[in-house]
Amino acid sequence: GESVGLHLPTLSVQEGDNSIINCAYSNSASDYFIWYKQESGKGPQFIIDIRSNMDKRQGQRVTVLLNKTVKHLSLQIAATQPGDSAVYFCAEEFTGGGNKLTFGTGTQLKVEL
Amino acid sequence: DAGVTQSPTHLIKTRGQQVTLRCSPKSGHDTVSWYQQALGQGPQFIFQYYEEEERQRGNFPDRFSGHQFPNYSSELNVNALLLGDSALYLCASSDDSGPNTGELFFGEGSRLTVL
């Protein structure tokens, strides 16, 4: 499949290690945030979301942390697996601005065996 | 249960031509959004359709237009193609059940190359 991750920031981790992917968002009014995973040749896939009234949310093997003071979002993946290799995007939304997500530029995660 | 389907998967056009891309949303979804993804970048919001009306629009010129049909499927039309319109065009569907976009389900995209 074609690559969507050319010249993106890259994070390389060993299989089994934990991964932390960071994102700085742009709009201080944004109050809803989502992480998406995009594998080569595919559309983005929803991973987890968080609202601005929370600073942490956990899913299956994933945790999202939100720091509104510095407009920073992170995605933690526990026990990273080869299937986690993909480009990861954070996206933000301002509820009062309508249903339109603003995506970041993405981070390429490479899992080494 | 089919997810979001898009057609065509790949197409090549020349500058000045017009293109129509099609999308069928996930079963049960009534809202369709279109995104443009240039190589190496995140998707950019073009517009969103709900109840056959354009509800939201991003920063795209009027050359980009769309339509939603009674069965919730949608088309994206781009007129007077420019080289810079070369990108992956993603359709995403959701249900209009909350104040936010919520979980978007994306198709695999239509890769447009403008020569």
For residue range A69-100, list pLDDT tens digits in order: 999 999 999 999 999 999 999 999 887 776 78
Nearest CA in chain B to A50: B102
pLDDT digits 0-9 by tens, A20-29? 999 999 888 8
Q: How many domains does the structure of chain B reveal?
A: 1
DSSP B114: E
Mean predicted lDDT score pLDDT of chain A:
90
Give pLDDT tens digits for B24-78.
999 989 999 999 999 989 999 999 999 999 998 999 999 999 999 999 999 999 9
Cβ distance A93 to B100 less than 8 Å, yes or no, reads yes
| Torsion of Cα atoms, A41 then A43 then A48 then A52, to 10° | 130
Neighbouring CB atoms inside 10 A of A29's CB total: 11
Q: Which of A43, A46, A95 sits opposite B100 (nearest CB)?
A: A95
> Taking CB atoms and an 8 Å cutoff, what residues of chain A touch B101?
32, 34, 93, 99-101
The pLDDT value given to residue A7: 60
Average pLDDT along chain B: 93
CA distances from B28 to B4, B22, B34, B98, B103 (A): 11, 18, 18, 15, 13
Residue type at B69 in one-letter notation? F
- Report d(CA B24, CA B112) in Å as an integer: 18
The verdict on a CB contact (< 8 Å) between A104 and B43 is no
Residue B1 predicted with pLDDT over 70: no
d(CA A65, CA A55): 6
State how far the Cα of A44 lies from the Cα of A36, in Å rounded to an integer.
Answer: 6
Sequence-separated (6 or more) residues with CB below 8 Å from residue B97: none
Task: Give the three-state DSSP class for B57.
Answer: strand
Nearest residue on chain A to B58, judged by CA atoms? A100
Question: Token pair of A48, please?
Answer: 């987890």
CATH number at residue B93: 2.60.40.10
Reported as type and span, the H/E element at residue B53 is strand B53-57
User: CA A74 from chain center: how many Å?
Assistant: 7
| DSSP at B41 | S
Q: Domain A10-98 class?
A: mainly beta
Parallel/antiparallel/unpaired status of strands A10-14 and A107-112: parallel
pLDDT at B89 over 80: yes
Contacts of B108 in chain A (CB under 8 A): 41-43
Domain range for B55 is 5-114
What is the residue extent of each domain of chain A? 10-98
User: How far away is chain A from the Cα of B89, in angstroms, using its nearest Cα?
Assistant: 10
Residues ≥6 apart with Cβ < 8 Å to A83? none
Contact A41 B108 (CB under 8 A): yes
